[in-house]
Structure 1
């Protein structure tokens, strides 16, 4: 949904800046992402620091990158304790999205690429671009959500619930 760049703010803090593509659909997704995460704060969720319309999102910088690099790169290694801790962090983040927010948030694309690891290897869930808040309003807008291989069978019957995130997390 866009490119991500590393940046440094005037105060010296590092940030990740996501530039979204320029199209009508993407502007709708940009607005959805800002609305979905502007008021959500949890230690296991990547924090939105700000945004610049029409297409820049500024996030906290997460030093160790995405979980997929640590799972699938032969040069990197996570021991059992680290993997266990990461799994708990992801579960805590999902629990907060599903039950701790004022309005339930469904991520709908939990996968290793959307889990970032900070300098202490604490996991943070990222990429809320197509997240859903509250109840499903239109099935058509949900058809494109998810990554093959991480999508629950319930998608075939449009049974949209927090169980989809739980399934993807388990994969």
Structure 2
């Protein structure tokens, strides 16, 4: 979907800038990401600080990077209490997306690479490029773009619901 760079704003705050690839398909994902998160604010979701069309998204900077680095890198370690706290943060973020937003948001690609950890190891859900807002859509209206291994079997049965995110979270 794109590259991410660290930047510093004029006020001195650090940000993450995502530069998306230049293609028609990717521009649709860019628009989906902006629409999905422009008005969503929750402590367990990465906050969009701004964007520049056609291909730059500016997010809050999340200091400890993605959860996958902490789970699969031999040089890093998360104790049981930290893992429990991270799981609760992810659950709270998903609950907000599914039930707390004015319009329901399905992330559709929950995986360790899309969970970021702040300086206190609080989890924040990121990468809304695959998300869907509004009424649940029929399968033939959607393109399957999740990550193999994290996709729920319901994808194959044309059943799009918040259970897709719940399945991916459980994996």
TM-score between the two structures when normalised by the length of structure 1: 0.97
Distance in 2, matches of 1:16 and 1:90, equals: 20
Q: Deviations over 1:139-165 (max 9, x none)?
A: 345333211110111111110000000
Q: Deviations over 1:71-99 (max 9, x none)?
A: 00000000000000000000000000000
**Displacement after TM superposition at 1:29 (Å):** 1.3
Aligned pair count? Answer: 171
RMSD: 1.0
Distance in 2, matches of 1:153 and 1:43, equals: 30
Distance in 2, matches of 1:34 and 1:82, equals: 31
**Displacement after TM superposition at 1:136 (Å):** 3.7
**Unaligned ranges ≥5, structure 1:** none
Distance in 1, matches of 2:148 and 2:142, equals: 14
**Displacement after TM superposition at 1:138 (Å):** 5.3
Distance in 2, matches of 1:24 and 1:138, equals: 23
Question: Corresponding residue for 1:100?
Answer: 100
TM-score between the two structures when normalised by the length of structure 2: 0.97
Give the secondary structure class of the aligned counterpart of 2:75.
coil
Q: Deviations over 1:18-46 (max 9, x none)?
A: 00011111111111110100000000000
Distance in 2, matches of 1:24 and 1:72, equals: 34
**Unaligned ranges ≥5, structure 2:** none
Greater shift after overlay, 141-150 or 123-132? 141-150
